[in-house]
Amino acid sequence: MKCFRFLLPLLILVFIPACSPPETGSGTSPSESQTIENKGSDTIVNLALAWAERYQEIHPEVRISVTGGGSGTGIASLINGTVDVANASREMKPEEIESAEANGIKPVEFVIARDAIAIIVHLDNPVDKLTLGQISDIYSGKINNWKEIGGEDRPIVRLSRETNSGTHVYFLEEVVRLGEKGNQTLFSRDTLLLPSSEGISAEIRQNPNAIGYDGLGYVTEEMKVVAVAEDPEGRYVMPSAQSVNSGNYPIARNLYMYTNGEPAGVIEEYLNWIQSPPAQEIVTELGFVPIKP
């Protein structure tokens, strides 16, 4: 599986000038170029960058600025009216929508790809399968030693994305809390909160005691992926595009873009292109799951 996690640091600003004349039929001169400000999820940022580069090859009259920082950052920028398109690896929360509307912003949601969250450990870790309940117990601090789940007598080092990450929020709600409304289980206090997917990958590679989670597009051969089952009697499934589309992998999610109101003009054209087959091929190339398999 290809991995592009080394392309970008946590906070990225990509600004590619339209330096060549527009193609025939574009109807826009370089002096009439338009800019799309795109900010948010670090899970999506490599994909958003790849889309921006490809789209600007087709439409050099459009400039697309892509910035990471986390889903919370993108959503906050949308609420404040300082971004055209917010990237998020989770849905906006009701209170975020309420804040946006109070500020005159009407969020409109677009599903632009899908993703599986892989549970990853060191290559030398003998544990190769876990249930959702076991993962929840690990991250909440009920299970603290690998020998409790078939591994060696070693302490478990828990790795997580930081709280501003949409992946962190999704993992807390759907895995640690098992998707149960009213469940107030929290991450164990000794969980290490890391600012990027690369940070989790680096720690997994060097720490045989560590466990982490990451989007499928960031998994490499330098780490071991654990099969996951919903319960002990269920089928243990590895994350893949096929297992996500079939509904068999239990830790899968949509990836989103949000705009202020129904998009129009160049933003509408760009979002329409993102959902087209050529753009969705890039989704597959980067290890994510297309919305129209």
Q: Is the pLDDT of residue 15 over 80?
A: no
* 103 and 119 housed in the same domain: no
6 or 246, which is more confident? 246
Confirm whether 25 is domain-assigned. Answer: yes
Nearest to 274 by CA among 9, 62, 3: 62
Q: Is the pLDDT of residue 181 over 70?
A: yes
Q: What is the pLDDT of residue 23?
A: 37
* 50 and 106 housed in the same domain: yes
For residue range 156-171, list pLDDT tens digits in order.
999 999 999 999 999 9
Q: What is the mean pLDDT of residues 76-97?
A: 97
The rounded distance, in Å, linking the Cα atoms of 77 and 86 is: 7
CATH number, domain of 147, equals 3.40.190.10
The pTM (predicted TM-score) of the whole model is 0.83
Q: What is the pLDDT of residue 3?
A: 42
Per the structure, the complete domain to which residue 279 belongs is given by: 5-114+254-285
The rounded distance, in Å, linking the Cα atoms of 204 and 198 is: 10
CA dihedral 191, 40, 113, 47 (to 10 degrees): -100
Q: What is the pLDDT of residue 31?
A: 39
Confirm whether 293 is domain-assigned. Answer: no
What token pair was written down for 191?
């969980």
Q: What is the pLDDT of residue 252?
A: 96
* 119 and 229 housed in the same domain: yes
DSSP 22-37: PPTT----GGG-EEEE
Q: What is the pLDDT of residue 5?
A: 40
Confirm whether 238 is domain-assigned. Answer: yes
Q: What is the pLDDT of residue 32?
A: 53
Q: What is the mean pLDDT of residues 165-193?
A: 96
* 243 and 120 housed in the same domain: yes
Amino acid at 91: E
Nearest to 167 by CA among 195, 189, 142, 191: 195
For residue range 108-155, list pLDDT tens digits in order.
999 999 999 999 999 999 999 999 999 999 999 999 999 999 999 999
CB 207 within 8 A of CB 197: no
Angle at 90 between CA 67 and CA 40, to 5 degrees: 10
255 or 14, which is more confident? 255
Confidence of residue 33 (pLDDT cuts 50, 70, 90): low
> Helices (H) and strands (E) in the chain — how many of each?
9, 11
12 or 220, which is more confident? 220
Q: What is the pLDDT of residue 22?
A: 35
For residue range 233-252, list pLDDT tens digits in order.
999 999 999 999 999 999 99
